[in-house]
Structure 1
Amino acid sequence: MRAQEQVFLGIDAGTQSLKLLAYDAGLKKILHVSAAPLELISRDDGSREQLAEWWLAALRQCMSELPDDIKRRVRGIGVSGQQHGFVPLNKNGEVIAPVKLWCDTSTIAECAEITERFGGVERCIDAVGNPILPGYTISKILWLKKNNPQAYGELAHILLPHDYLNFHLTGKIFTEYGDASGTSYLNILRREYDRDMLQALDPERDLLPMLPPLLEANATVPLGETARAEFGLPTGVKVSTGGGDNMMAAFGTGSVTPGVLTLSLGTSGTLFAHSDAPAIDPGSELAAFCSSSGGWLPLLCTMNCTVATERTRKALGKSIEECEALLAASTPGAGGIQSLPFYNGERIPNLPHARASLHGLNDSNMTPANLYRAAMEGATFTLRRGLDAFARAGQTFTAIRLTGGGAKSPHWRQMIADVFNLPVEVPAQQEGAAFGAAMQALWACSENADLAALTEEHLAVDTSLGCAPDAESSAAYQTHYQSFLELLSQQYPSVQPVE
Structure 2
Amino acid sequence: MSQDLYLSIDVGTGSARAALVDTRGTILAIVSREHEQIVQQYGWAEQRPEDWWAGVIHAIRGLLDAHPYARERIAAICACGQMHGTVLIDANGQLTSPSVLLWNDKRTASLVQAFEKNNRPEDYLSRSGNPPTPAWPAFKLQWLRDNEPDAFARTAAVMMPKDYINYRLTGEIAQDWTEASCSFLMDPQTRDWSPQMLDRLGIRAQILPKIRSPQEILGSINAVAAQETGLAVGTPVLVGGGDYPVSLLGSGVCRPGLGSDVTGTSCIITTVARQPLLDPEISNVACVSDWGPFVLLESGGDAMRWARRAFHENSLSYADISNRAAQAPAGSNGLLFAPYLSGERLGDHRNARAQFFGIAANHGLAHLHRAVLEGVAFAAARHIDIMQTATGQPLQRVVASGGGAKSALWLKVKASIYGIPIAVPEEAECGVIGCAALAAAAVGHFSTPEDAAEHFVRYADDVLPDPEWVEVYQRMQPIFNRLYLHSQQMYDDLDRLAL
Q: Aligned to 1:298, which of 273, 285, 293?
A: 293
Change (3 A) 1:95 1:31: farther
C-alpha deviation, 1:399, in angstroms: 0.9
Q: Aligned to 2:384, which of 384, 387, 395?
A: 387
Question: Equivalent residues in 2 for 1:73-92 (5 A)?
Answer: 73-92=73-92
Matching residue of 1:459: 457
Change (3 A) 1:20 1:378: farther
Check conservation: 2:96, 2:151, Cα contact below 8 A.
Answer: no
Change (3 A) 1:167 1:336: farther
CA distance in 1, matches of 2:161, 2:104: 13
Change (3 A) 1:237 1:153: same
What amino acid does structure 1 have at the position aligned with 2:68? D
Q: How many matched pairs?
A: 482
Check conservation: 1:105, 1:352, Cα contact below 8 A.
Answer: no
Change (3 A) 1:353 1:143: farther
1:178 aligns with 2:172: no
1:378 aligns with 2:363: no
Question: Equivalent residues in 2 for 1:313-332 (5 A)?
Answer: 313-315=308-310, 316=312, 317-332=315-330
SS of the aligned residue for 1:393 comes to helix
SS of the aligned residue for 2:453 comes to helix
C-alpha deviation, 1:207, in angstroms: 1.4
Change (3 A) 1:127 1:99: same
Query: RMSD over aligned Cα, in angstroms?
Result: 2.6
What amino acid does structure 1 have at the position aligned with 2:16? L
**Percent of aligned pairs with the same residue?**
27
Matching residue of 1:260: 258
Matching residue of 2:282: 286
1:153-178 deviation digits (Å, cap 9, x = unpaired)? 33332222222222222221101111
Matching residue of 1:187: 187
Check conservation: 1:188, 1:288, Cα contact below 8 A.
Answer: no
Question: Equivalent residues in 2 for 1:197-212 (5 A)?
Answer: 197-202=197-202, 207-212=204-209
CA distance in 1, matches of 2:304, 2:21: 32
Change (3 A) 1:155 1:303: farther
Matching residue of 1:68: 67
What amino acid does structure 2 have at the position aligned with 1:113? A
Change (3 A) 1:141 1:343: farther
Check conservation: 1:342, 1:354, Cα contact below 8 A.
Answer: yes
C-alpha deviation, 1:349, in angstroms: 4.7
Question: Equivalent residues in 2 for 1:266-281 (5 A)?
Answer: 266-275=264-273, 277-281=274-278
Check conservation: 1:216, 1:294, Cα contact below 8 A.
Answer: no
Check conservation: 1:223, 1:237, Cα contact below 8 A.
Answer: yes
Matching residue of 1:147: 147
CA distance in 2, matches of 1:357, 1:15: 31
Check conservation: 2:128, 2:187, Cα contact below 8 A.
Answer: yes
SS of the aligned residue for 2:28 comes to strand
C-alpha deviation, 1:412, in angstroms: 1.5
Check conservation: 2:127, 2:186, Cα contact below 8 A.
Answer: no
1:255-276 deviation digits (Å, cap 9, x = unpaired)? 222222122112332222333x
What amino acid does structure 2 have at the position aligned with 1:194? S
Matching residue of 1:94: 95
1:10-69 deviation digits (Å, cap 9, x = unpaired)? 2222333333322111x5421012333343345765333333233223323322431233
Change (3 A) 1:366 1:207: farther
- Relative to the length of structure 2, the TM-score reads 0.88
1:70-112 deviation digits (Å, cap 9, x = unpaired)? 6422222211112222223333331516333333333232123
- Relative to the length of structure 1, the TM-score reads 0.88
Check conservation: 1:302, 1:346, Cα contact below 8 A.
Answer: yes
- After TM superposition, the structure 1 stretch with the greater mean CA deviation from structure 2, 69-78 or 404-413, is 69-78
Matching residue of 2:306: 311
Change (3 A) 1:98 1:400: same
CA distance in 2, matches of 1:381, 1:41: 35
C-alpha deviation, 1:242, in angstroms: 1.2
CA distance in 2, matches of 1:337, 1:249: 35
1:406-455 deviation digits (Å, cap 9, x = unpaired)? 11111111111011000111122221212211221222222772344323
Question: Equivalent residues in 2 for 1:208-219 (5 A)?
Answer: 208-219=205-216
Q: Aligned to 1:6, which of 4, 7, 31?
A: 4
Check conservation: 2:131, 2:282, Cα contact below 8 A.
Answer: no
Check conservation: 1:278, 1:288, Cα contact below 8 A.
Answer: no
What amino acid does structure 2 have at the position aligned with 1:156? A
Matching residue of 1:478: 474
C-alpha deviation, 1:148, in angstroms: 2.8
Matching residue of 1:128: 128
CA distance in 2, matches of 1:356, 1:279: 30
Matching residue of 2:494: none
Q: Aligned to 2:247, which of 207, 226, 249?
A: 249
C-alpha deviation, 1:318, in angstroms: 1.2
What amino acid does structure 1 have at the position aligned with 2:262? S
Q: Aligned to 1:446, which of 444, 454, 459?
A: 444
For structure 1, list consecutive stretches of 5 or more residues without a partner in the other structure. Answer: none
Check conservation: 2:131, 2:346, Cα contact below 8 A.
Answer: no
What amino acid does structure 2 have at the position aligned with 1:16? G
For structure 2, list consecutive stretches of 5 or more residues without a partner in the other structure. Answer: 492-499
Check conservation: 1:177, 1:217, Cα contact below 8 A.
Answer: yes
C-alpha deviation, 1:352, in angstroms: 4.5
Matching residue of 2:114: 113
SS of the aligned residue for 1:480 comes to helix
C-alpha deviation, 1:312, in angstroms: 2.6
Change (3 A) 1:485 1:493: farther
